[in-house]
């Protein structure tokens, strides 16, 4: 159910992250190695990145498979960034939302992705949706479970929660309302990364402290420094450190 990746570090061409590695996210679209649900991620893709001096990220999203987009390779060959989030999508349910349903979702300085599925969607989470302000529900760009999760996360970000809390609390609420949901979430503001491992794979790679941090559904190469995140865990990271917090303990 999707693959995603977030990066913060030295400025690099996006292609170095997304295409060049042997098991890049592009290859993961048709040949993921550690995906626990689904086999092909061909229902849309996207990448968001930050330009120096501009806190609001740019995005490029499309509704079809990443390997069918003739412009993507040229784009990521020339665009350089020190922070990015990319995703390839395997839709839980087919909708007419097109690229609006493809991650990353964005608002202000934030980029967001969801790898997973909300069980018994949408009935199980109707109460959570109803608790959001009407204007936030009306501003949803897609009718998917991921779009609603993004609305829950964004609501907390706008009221001042840090990246980790903005992910952890919606996971707690969603897992209570819809047990058995898969809730691997990924969020960045260009300076930090937060992610949850909840029902699917999550890994991270840290270069020398202060250099490069990558958080991804699965490793894009065979570098032995990749570390797997245990299930039911919140990850928060910046360029100098990665912290792991067991979510099952937080929520008891």
pLDDT for residue 5: 98
| Catalytic machinery residues | 2
In 3-state terms, what secondary structure has residue 238? coil
Neighbours of 157 (CB within 10 A): 20
- Give the dihedral sign, CA 152/155/156/158: positive
> Which residue ranges form the domains of the chain, and what is each CATH number?
3-250 (3.60.20.10)
Place of tokens 């699917």: 200
pLDDT of 249 higher than 80? no
Query: How sure is the predictor about 251, in pLDDT bands with cuts at 50, 70 and 90?
Result: very low
30 torsion bin: left (phi>0), alpha (psi -120 to 50), beta (else)? alpha
In 3-state terms, what secondary structure has residue 80? strand
pLDDT of 212 higher than 50? yes
Query: How sure is the predictor about 37, in pLDDT bands with cuts at 50, 70 and 90?
Result: confident
Q: What is the pLDDT of residues 132-171, one digit of tens each?
A: 999 999 999 899 999 999 999 999 999 999 999 999 999 9
- Pairing, β 203-206 against β 182-188: unpaired
Query: How sure is the predictor about 217, in pLDDT bands with cuts at 50, 70 and 90?
Result: very high
Q: Residue 186 has which token pair?
A: 């990924």
pLDDT for residue 95: 63
pLDDT for residue 93: 67
Rounded mean pLDDT of 26-33? 92
Contact of 57 with 111, CB cutoff 8 Å: yes
Q: Residue 88 has which token pair?
A: 């390839």
Q: How far is CA 243 from CA 37, 48, 144, 246, in A?
A: 26, 24, 30, 10
Q: Which residue has the higher pLDDT, 75 or 97?
A: 75
């Amino acid at each position: 159910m999707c693959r995603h990746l977030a990066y913060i570090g030295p400025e690099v061409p996006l292609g170095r992250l997304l295409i060049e590695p042997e098991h890049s996210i592009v290859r993961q679209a048709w040949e993921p190695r550690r995906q626990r649900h689904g086999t092909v991620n061909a229902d849309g893709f996207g990448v968001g990145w930050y330009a120096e001096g501009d806190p609001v990220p740019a995005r490029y999203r499309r509704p079809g498979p990443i390997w069918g987009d003739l412009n993507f390779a040229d784009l990521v060959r020339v665009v350089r960034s020190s922070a990015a989030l990319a995703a390839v999508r395997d839709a839980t349910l087919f909708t007419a939302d097109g690229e609006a349903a493809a991650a990353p979702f964005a608002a202000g300085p934030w980029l967001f992705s969801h790898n997973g599925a909300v069980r018994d969607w949408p009935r199980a989470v109707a109460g959570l949706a109803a608790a959001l302000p009407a204007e936030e529900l009306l501003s949803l760009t897609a009718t998917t479970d991921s779009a609603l999760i993004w609305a829950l996360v964004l609501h907390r970000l706008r009221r001042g929660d840090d990246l980790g809390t903005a992910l952890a609390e919606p996971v707690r609420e969603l897992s209570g309302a819809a047990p058995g949901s898969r809730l691997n979430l990924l969020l960045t503001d260009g300076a930090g990364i937060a992610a949850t491992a909840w029902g699917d794979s999550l890994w991270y790679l840290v270069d020398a402290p202060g250099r490069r941090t990558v958080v991804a559904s699965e490793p894009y190469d065979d570098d032995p420094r990749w570390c797997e995140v245990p299930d039911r865990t919140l990850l928060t990271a910046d360029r100098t450190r990665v912290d792991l917090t067991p979510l099952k303990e937080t929520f008891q």
